[in-house]
Amino acid sequence: MPTPPTYNYLDAEALGRLKNLPLAARHVVEGFFAGMHKSPHKGFSVEFAEHRLYTPGADPRHIDWRVFGRRDKLYVKQYEEETSMRCYLLLDKSASMGYKSDGPLTKLEYGSFLAATLAYLMAYQHDAAGLITFDDKIRHSVPVRQGASGLRALMDSLENTEPGNETNLGEIFHQLAETIKRRSLVIIISDLFDDPDAVVGALKHFRHKKHDVIVLHTLDPAELTFPFDDISRIEDMETGREITSDPRAFRKGYLEALATFLETVRGGCLSSQIDYAVAETSMKFDTFLGTYLARRQRLTS
């Protein structure tokens, strides 16, 4: 069990409400210890998986003598092994994640709350979690570890995360997909403000590597509604590009482009069996997580 939360991004009340909602892997993942998740490795679990022909060297204790009696061939029983889950929390710390409109939290802070809470839940269910923060490069990496020490390291990393530079999601994701060797749960917390086709391609790379992927698309309400009225000089937080205009004249076009973007990302996730949810920062993060985890649990079961 982790130490009582003393970090900014750990909310005791939220954790209390969420700890009964396990974050279960929907796909098989590889872990270090026997746990609640299905492991691709056949081992000594009680749950029978299949038979295979006996080959010399195999443990004779697992020979199924009943089958031998019926078929006159030696078969060995194989069992599914339950394992602890390896989870990578990929937190986008690009400059755009530093945006907030009227709400109390920036997207990065909101994402940090999500990451911290999820890490805590992992630790609570004896899973191993790691954290990778990135903008145009991978900025910080907390290795996947189980237990309180791993959680502490992760929390310390979150506390020190500040918005960084531009985003280069596609390249980063491809790089990570190659880096993460064992099949894991990859939770991406990002606004995904990059070329949507590149992003979707990179997400598919994760799936190609057999990872279970969750995309928590973190967006500010103002990004969804573009509520500005007065003529403004709009400065892009990442590129510094400035556009002076009447936002009312832009709103329609902006919303159409945003909808297209969201649809592209969502469609790409759907087609690759990637779990996708929009996390709007105006919603309390525990409410969002509670709703999301409950539905995920239903789907998984």
Report the C-alpha gap between 224 and 257 in whole angstroms.
Answer: 11
Cβ atoms of 185 and 85 within 8 Å: the answer is yes
Smallest distance, other proteins to C-beta of residue 223, A: 6
Which residue, 181 or 241, is less far from other proteins as judged by CB? 241
Smallest distance, other proteins to C-beta of residue 271, A: 8
Which residue, 12 or 249, is less far from other proteins as judged by CB? 249
Cβ atoms of 296 and 24 within 8 Å: the answer is yes
Binding mask 255-284 for other proteins (x = CB under 8 A): xxxxxxxxx--x--xxxxxxxxxxxx-xx-
H/E stretch holding 117 reads: helix 107-124
For residues 55-94, which are near other proteins according to CB under 8 A? none
Residue 208 is a binding residue for other proteins (CB under 8 A) = no
- For residue 250, count CB atoms less than 10 angstroms from its CB and return exposed for 0-12, middle for 13-18, buried for 19 or more: middle
Please report which residue ranges of 83-147 form alpha helices under DSSP H.
Answer: 107-124
Residue 250 is a binding residue for other proteins (CB under 8 A) = yes
Q: What is the DSSP letter of 148?
A: H
Site of tokens 């902006």: 254
Residue 20 is a binding residue for other proteins (CB under 8 A) = no
Residue 198 is a binding residue for other proteins (CB under 8 A) = no
Report the C-alpha gap between 189 and 176 in whole angstroms.
Answer: 14
Smallest distance, other proteins to C-beta of residue 108, A: 11
Which residue, 148 or 243, is less far from other proteins as judged by CB? 243
Residue 8 is a binding residue for other proteins (CB under 8 A) = no
Q: What is the DSSP letter of 92?
A: E
Report the C-alpha gap between 25 and 121 in whole angstroms.
Answer: 13
Q: Which residues bind other proteins (CB under 8 A)?
A: 96-97, 99, 107, 191, 193, 217, 220-226, 228, 230-239, 241, 243-245, 247-263, 266, 269-280, 282-283, 288, 291-292, 295-296, 299
